[in-house]
Amino acid sequence: MTGLTCTLRPEQIGQVVEIEERTFAQPWTVDDFEWVSRDEGAINLGLWKDETLVGYAIGAIEGAGFHLASLAIDLPYRRQGWGSRLLCASMARAATRGCQTCRLEARRSNDAALQMYQKFDFAVDGVGRRFYTKPVEDAWLLSRPLSAL
């Protein structure tokens, strides 16, 4: 698998939003992404195959922890290892910036994501009641240490 993981530049946010809109019922907007990118603790990665943006991971450092807020792989590229690669790259980047844990939320019905996070040793910390809208659904709150990376 060839591909390049790098920090998203502001002019690439439009491509991120295109994937976001194809993926989520309540997609983030350009403004949302620009707002999180302004945070100096932001770790926003794009994964490129040649000229194509395959997926992205958006997160922020919060003290000694990393919150992975959004991760998606565009439909034609799923189940080929790209999501794993992006997840590992985000966690590695957070670890090098001093984070000791990674936390995230996932819909209770999102089997693909839950299986991926389980494969990467995330544990369930709790449930976020009615965390999501469109449709309303609880979230699993997951985390793992980054010390083992």
Ligand X SMILES: CC(C)(COP(=O)(O)OP(=O)(O)OC[C@H]1O[C@@H](n2cnc3c(N)ncnc32)[C@H](O)[C@@H]1OP(=O)(O)O)[C@@H](O)C(=O)NCCC(=O)NCCS
Contact positions toward ligand X, by CB under 6 A?
23, 71-73, 78-84, 106, 110-113, 115-116, 119
Across the beta sheet with 52-62, the strand order is: 4-7, 42-49, 52-62, 65-73, 101-107, 137-145, 123-132
CA 40, CA 28: separation in Å to the nearest integer?
19
Q: Which is nearer to ligand X, 81 or 98 (CB)?
A: 81
Pick 4 or 98: Cβ nearer ligand X: 4
Work out how close the CB of 82 gets to ligand X at its nearest, in angstroms, rounded to a whole number: 4
Question: Minimum distance between the CB of residue 135 and ligand X, rounded to whole angstroms?
Answer: 14
Please spell the DSSP secondary structure of 18-74, one letter per residue. Answer: HHHHHH-SSPPPHHHHHHHHTSTTEEEEEEEETTEEEEEEEEEEETTEEEEEEEEE-
CB of 111 to ligand X, least distance (A): 5
Residue 117: CB minimum distance to ligand X, A: 8
Residue 12 has what DSSP assignment? G
Q: Which residue is nearest to ligand X (CB)?
A: 83
Task: Say if residues 86 and 77 touch (Cβ distance below 8 Å).
Answer: no
Residue carrying structure tokens 């999102």: 110
Nearer to ligand X, 42 or 89 (CB): 89
| Closer of 13 and 139 to ligand X (Cβ) | 139
Least CB distance from residue 41 to ligand X, whole Å? 20
For ligand X, the closer of residues 40 and 125 by Cβ is: 125
